[in-house]
């Protein structure tokens, strides 16, 4: 067993500690949020790992900076994947599949409108087996789904989802089906690792993610008049604190106090969703997840959990920097930019 | 002497016709000034309404646009771009004419409302619902603006006619009528003097 653990807690953990030292500290993130313009952002980032990628000679635009930030994120992911054992890599790949799904949704939604997606806008991680160009070239939504389901990863796409999409004329079922597949694969791969240290803790993080996604979904009928018949089949299984039965009751409820009581474990998030401040709710949820990740960081200093937590922190940094560059470019007040950052607190 | 489009003939018949015309024009002038007053009052009402609605809508629009920028920064251009594509070309409207004091103004009737139900995922839906509502309010603001523009154009035209009638046409016609009256009176006096002179001549001849 010890041998198995050692195999998992290999070089990747050491590299994770190395990458962790390069993550931007909260005070730097905060400093970036209060930068006067993109030039100042470039000046600050130049002193960090991002300096290698960002040129001071080029006039900074949000698109250019986003592209460079994306490169650093991809580089970090690849570094971790390269040094991970097979078992750990499987988990990391499923964690990173969220970017593949975001790409697929981008192409799918464009297809839904009869438009062609611009491949330069995709975050393509090299491990992805998806041929995005052929998906972009498909003639319609049906062909897109047919091609997508021909990939092993998405072969368990449920047929009722397609009829649900047709019945409600909504792309939402496809979106949540992709999330369902991602989480199922993720939990399967975690459970497959019999001797994975901190397995419960790793699972918990993703179960909380599922809870949060379900909360946003379950409140849609009450707040935005979504059809409960559409929402019910989309609820994701394997949540942490909220079971499907409770969520189904929430879907059909119009009573705010009942909802607050049923979802009390995520009070702050629910409160913000109810007052239609979903952006804030999303950030609170991500901060909550980050807090959970950091809380277990020290006890898991030499476990694969640390690698996973680092990967998530890299993702938060990527998303935060994207918010900062776009926020500054579009003259969003600094305090508001700071409000939308995940890694701004220790 | 002439009035626009009318050759003045200093006869009794023409004077009677002219006086009848002046009466009709004066009646028209009275009606048009009533229309002008009514249009002014309607326009003032609409302007007040417009000011209130526009202030409210623009205030809300400013908040929504600020919020949109925040959501844009939070979700990233790709997500916004992809979601913006989902809901295109689903608003059907009909522009119906409505008569205000005989002026046809447009009234917008939505045949098919923008439906965003069941379409959008978390975070983006918050701003989508606000934008849809704002879009419908913008149509209302445009409708009021159009009404104001058409009423104002008509008011300007009516005002010009009323002023022309009041300041040029009626005084001119009245002065022509006065001129004809004077001419007729002069002619009458001349005729009287001529008759009197002839009578005197005849009387003088009989006396011889």
The contacts of residue B38 (CB under 8 Å, 6+ apart) are: B101
Joined tokens for residue A111: 């297809």
Give yes or no for a contact between A232 and A244, defined as CB atoms under 8 angstroms apart.
Answer: no
Residue A346: per-residue pLDDT: 64
What is the residue whose two structure tokens read 């002219």?
B18
Rounded Cα gap, residues B87 and B81, in angstroms: 11
Domain annotation covers residue B109 = yes
- pLDDT higher than threshold 90 for residue B32: yes
Residue A1: per-residue pLDDT: 46
Domain annotation covers residue A304 = no
CA distance A68 to chain B (A): 15
Is the Cα dihedral B118, A123, A152, A212 positive or negative? negative
- Across the range B190-206, mean pLDDT stands at 93
> Which CATH number goes with the domain that contains B21?
1.10.287.3240
Beta bridge partners of A175: none
Residue B93: per-residue pLDDT: 85
Domain annotation covers residue A49 = no
Domain annotation covers residue B116 = yes
- Across the range B119-142, mean pLDDT stands at 90
CB-based contact B122 A217, cutoff 8 Å: yes
Residue B81, Cα to own-chain centre: how many angstroms? 44
Task: Tell me the ipTM for this assembly.
Answer: 0.88
What is the residue whose two structure tokens read 């409000």?
A339
Q: How many domains does chain A have?
A: 1
Joined tokens for residue A285: 């949820």
CB-based contact A226 B79, cutoff 8 Å: no
- DSSP letter assigned to residue A238: -
Domain annotation covers residue A222 = yes
CA distance B41 to chain A (A): 42
Residue A299: per-residue pLDDT: 67
Rounded Cα gap, residues B132 and B140, in angstroms: 13
Would an 8 Å CB–CB cutoff place B79 in contact with chain A? yes
CB-based contact B82 A110, cutoff 8 Å: yes
Residue B1: per-residue pLDDT: 58
CA distance B54 to chain A (A): 24
**Residue A259 Cα distances to A246, A276, B50, B59, angstroms:** 9, 15, 41, 32
Q: What angle do CA A20, A26, A28 make, to 5 degrees?
A: 95
Q: Among B86, B118, B123, select the one facing A113 at the smallest CB separation.
A: B86
Q: Which domain holds residue A277?
A: 199-295
CA distance A11 to chain B (A): 34
Domain annotation covers residue A23 = no
The contacts of residue A223 (CB under 8 Å, 6+ apart) are: A273, A274, A276
Rounded Cα gap, residues B130 and B65, in angstroms: 10
A with B: how many residue pairs have Cβ under 8 Å apart? Answer: 96
Domain annotation covers residue B120 = yes
- Closest by CA to A125, choosing from A156, A99, A161, is A99
Would an 8 Å CB–CB cutoff place B113 in contact with chain A? no
Give yes or no for a contact between A238 and A207, defined as CB atoms under 8 angstroms apart.
Answer: yes
Rounded Cα gap, residues A316 and A313, in angstroms: 5
% of chain B beyond a pLDDT of 70: 95
Give yes or no for a contact between A171 and B87, defined as CB atoms under 8 angstroms apart.
Answer: no
Domain annotation covers residue A250 = yes
Question: Least CA distance to A108: which residue of chain B?
Answer: B82
Domain annotation covers residue B206 = no
H or E element that contains A109: helix A86-112
- Closest by CA to A127, choosing from A83, A87, A74, A188, is A74
Domain annotation covers residue B16 = yes
Residue A82: per-residue pLDDT: 86
Domain annotation covers residue B119 = yes
Rounded Cα gap, residues A191 and A206, in angstroms: 13
Phi/psi of residue A239, nearest 5 degrees: -75, 175
Best interface-test mutation with A: which of B63, B79, B85, B130 has the largest number of A CBs within 10 A?
A: B85
Joined tokens for residue A97: 């599949």
CB-based contact B79 A102, cutoff 8 Å: yes
Domain annotation covers residue B155 = yes
Residue A57: per-residue pLDDT: 87
Domain annotation covers residue A242 = yes
Domain annotation covers residue A14 = no
- DSSP letter assigned to residue B165: I
Rounded Cα gap, residues A283 and A57, in angstroms: 34
A66 neighbourhood in chain B, CB within 8 Å: 76-77
- Across the range B17-38, mean pLDDT stands at 94
Q: Which domain holds residue B36?
A: 11-191
What is the residue whose two structure tokens read 């409770």?
A246
Domain annotation covers residue B121 = yes
Q: How many domains does chain B have?
A: 1
Rounded Cα gap, residues A283 and A273, in angstroms: 11
Q: Give the N- to C-terminal CA distance of chain B in Å, as an integer.
A: 47
Residue A128: per-residue pLDDT: 80
Residue B5: per-residue pLDDT: 64
A170 neighbourhood in chain B, CB within 8 Å: 118-119
Give yes or no for a contact between A328 and A41, defined as CB atoms under 8 angstroms apart.
Answer: yes
Domain annotation covers residue A17 = no
CB-based contact A224 B129, cutoff 8 Å: yes
**pLDDT tens digit at each of 346 positions of chain A:** 445 555 555 688 888 888 888 999 999 999 999 999 999 999 999 999 999 999 888 899 999 999 899 899 989 988 888 888 888 888 889 988 988 999 999 999 999 888 888 888 888 887 788 899 999 999 999 999 999 999 999 998 998 999 999 999 899 999 999 999 999 999 999 988 877 778 888 899 999 999 999 999 999 999 999 999 999 999 999 889 999 999 999 999 989 999 999 999 999 999 999 999 999 999 999 999 999 888 876 666 778 888 888 889 999 999 999 999 999 999 999 999 999 999 887 6
Rounded Cα gap, residues A209 and A223, in angstroms: 21
For A91-94, the CB contacts below 8 A with 24+ separation are A91/A186, A91/A189, A91/A190, A91/A193, A91/A202, A91/A304, A91/A308, A92/A307, A92/A308, A92/A311, A93/A127, A94/A182, A94/A185, A94/A186, A94/A189
């Amino acid at each position: 067993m010890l041998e198995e653990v050692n195999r998992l807690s290999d070089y990747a953990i050491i590299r994770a500690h190395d990458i962790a030292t390069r993550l931007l500290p909260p005070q730097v993130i905060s400093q970036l949020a209060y930068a006067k313009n993109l030039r100042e952002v470039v000046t600050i980032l130049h002193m960090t790992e991002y300096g290698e990628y960002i040129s001071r000679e080029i006039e900074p635009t949000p698109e250019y900076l986003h592209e460079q930030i994306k490169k650093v994120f991809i580089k970090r992911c690849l570094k971790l994947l390269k040094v991970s054992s097979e078992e750990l890599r499987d988990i990391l790949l499923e964690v990173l599949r969220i970017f593949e799904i975001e790409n697929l949704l981008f192409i799918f939604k464009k297809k839904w409108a009869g438009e062609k997606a611009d491949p330069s806008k995709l975050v393509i991680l090299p491990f992805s087996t998806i041929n995005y160009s052929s998906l972009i070239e498909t003639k319609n939504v049906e062909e897109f789904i047919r091609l997508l389901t021909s990939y092993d990863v998405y072969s368990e796409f449920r047929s009722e989802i397609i009829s649900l999409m047709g019945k409600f004329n909504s792309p939402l079922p496809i979106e949540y089906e992709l999330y369902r597949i991602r989480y199922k694969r993720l939990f399967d791969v975690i459970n497959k690792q019999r001797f994975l240290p901190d397995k419960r803790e790793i699972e918990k993080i993703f179960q909380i993610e599922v809870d949060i996604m379900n909360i946003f979904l379950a409140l849609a009928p009450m707040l935005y008049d979504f059809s409960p018949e559409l929402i019910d089949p989309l609820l994701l299984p394997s949540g942490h604190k909220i079971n499907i039965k409770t969520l189904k009751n929430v879907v059909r409820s119009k009573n705010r106090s009942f909802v607050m009581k049923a979802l009390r474990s995520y009070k702050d998030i629910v409160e913000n969703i109810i007052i239609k401040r979903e952006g804030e709710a999303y950030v609170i949820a991500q901060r909550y997840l980050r807090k959970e990740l950091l809380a277990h960081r020290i006890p898991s200093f030499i476990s694969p959990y640390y690698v996973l937590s680092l990967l998530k922190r890299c993702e938060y940094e990527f998303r935060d920097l994207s918010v900062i560059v776009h926020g500054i470019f579009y003259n969003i007040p600094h305090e508001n930019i700071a409000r939308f950052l995940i890694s701004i607190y220790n | 002497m002439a009035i626009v489009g009318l050759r003045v003939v200093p006869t009794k018949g023409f004077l009677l016709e002219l006086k009848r015309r002046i009466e009709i024009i004066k009646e028209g002038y009275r009606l048009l000034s009533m229309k002008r007053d009514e249009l002014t009052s309607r326009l003032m009402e609409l302007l007040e309404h417009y000011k209130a609605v526009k202030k409210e809508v623009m205030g809300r629009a400013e908040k929504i646009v600020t919020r949109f920028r925040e959501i844009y920064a939070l979700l990233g251009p790709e997500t916004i771009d992809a979601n913006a594509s989902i809901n295109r070309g689903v608003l059907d409207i009909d522009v119906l004419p409505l008569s205000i004091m005989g002026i046809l103004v447009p009234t917008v009737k939505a045949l098919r409302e923008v439906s965003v139900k069941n379409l959008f995922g978390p975070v983006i839906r918050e701003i989508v619902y606000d934008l849809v509502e704002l879009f419908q309010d913008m149509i209302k603001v445009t409708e009021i603006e159009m009404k104001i523009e058409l009423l104002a154009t008509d008011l300007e035209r009516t005002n010009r006619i009323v002023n022309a009638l009041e300041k040029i046409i009626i005084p001119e016609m009245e002065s022509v009528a006065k001129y004809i009256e004077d001419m007729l009176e002069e002619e009458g006096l001349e005729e009287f003097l001529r008759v009197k002179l002839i009578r005197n001549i005849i009387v003088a001849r009989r006396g011889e």
